Amino acid sequence: MAAPRVLHLTDTHLFASPRHRLRGVTTEQTLERAIERAQRHAWPPDCILLTGDLVHDGSLEGYERLRARFAAFGVPVYCIAGNHDDPQRMRSVLDAPPLQCEGSATVGDWCIVLLDTHVPGEDGGGLSVDTLARLDTTLAQTRAPHALVCLHHHPVAIGSAWLDALGVANRDALFGVINRHSTVRALLWGHVHQAFDEQAGGLRLLATPSTCIQFKPRCARFRYDSLPPACRWLTLYEDGRIGTEILWADA
């Protein structure tokens, strides 16, 4: 079997109206630009990951259009909530095949785990005791030799003071679970609207830019970047390696 290819899209920030703009860009259009770029690179993916801030205003209309757009691809689509999402409304629309909210899935030799880091009323994130327990159980019970853990908020510092105050608050508890399981190869997230790719011990740490606007890296205060919408392709190899590439729209 060929190594599964996974498309990661994050921070789509759709609205009830497809014409609504966020900081000067029409997020419906920028999502289409990112999808079109992915389709020019390789298509179809074996599955798609959507890691939060999917609908900026938490509207039913936004989730319904998102579902219609991604269900049409005919591949599994795995979703988690971000701080701008309405998790209950999101699940009511998106948590039905071929889409799935949270939980886990086996893709080739990999277990993909979807973690909910949404904290009501907060821009930063955290993991509940129940979520951490489910992560521990999933990693203990999976027969897949490799695991990819996905979340919205960043679980490590990325070098921007203002953003690093808005990551996973109880990251030590998260890594306490992960460090008990040697099958975890990588963590993947959104939220930071910029690229990140570092290695920590045996873990690959990856963030994907947004399908709309980007934040300038390594800034003490909030600043926008001029980079275009983007997506990330991942290839999950049977030996635990990850091949990955960020694709910028219009490139």
**pLDDT (mean) for 11-17:** 97
| Side chain identity at residue 67, one-letter code | R
The pLDDT value given to residue 250: 83
pLDDT of residue 251: 62
Please say whether the beta carbons of 80 and 107 come within 8 A. Answer: no
Per-residue pLDDT at 1 exceeds 70: no
What is residue 201's predicted lDDT score, i.e. its pLDDT?
Answer: 87
Question: Amino acid letter at 79?
Answer: C
- Measure the CA–CA gap between 116 and 150, rounded to whole angstroms: 9
Kindly tell me if the per-residue pLDDT of 229 is higher than 80.
yes
Closest-CA residue to 53 (of 33, 77, 79, 83): 83
- Quick: pLDDT tens for 77-88: 999 999 999 999
Q: Is the pLDDT of residue 67 over 80?
A: yes
What are the chain's domains?
5-248 (3.60.21.10)
pLDDT tens-place string over residues 94-116: 999 999 999 999 999 999 999 99
Dump pLDDT digits (tens) for 130-181: 999 999 999 999 999 999 999 999 999 999 999 999 999 999 999 999 999 9
pTM of the model: 0.97
Q: What is the pLDDT of residues 171-181, one digit of tens each?
A: 999 999 999 99
| Closest to 45 measured CA to CA, from 20, 75, 17, 22 | 75
Alpha carbon distance 191, 36 (integer Å): 22
Write out the two tokens for 7.
């498309």
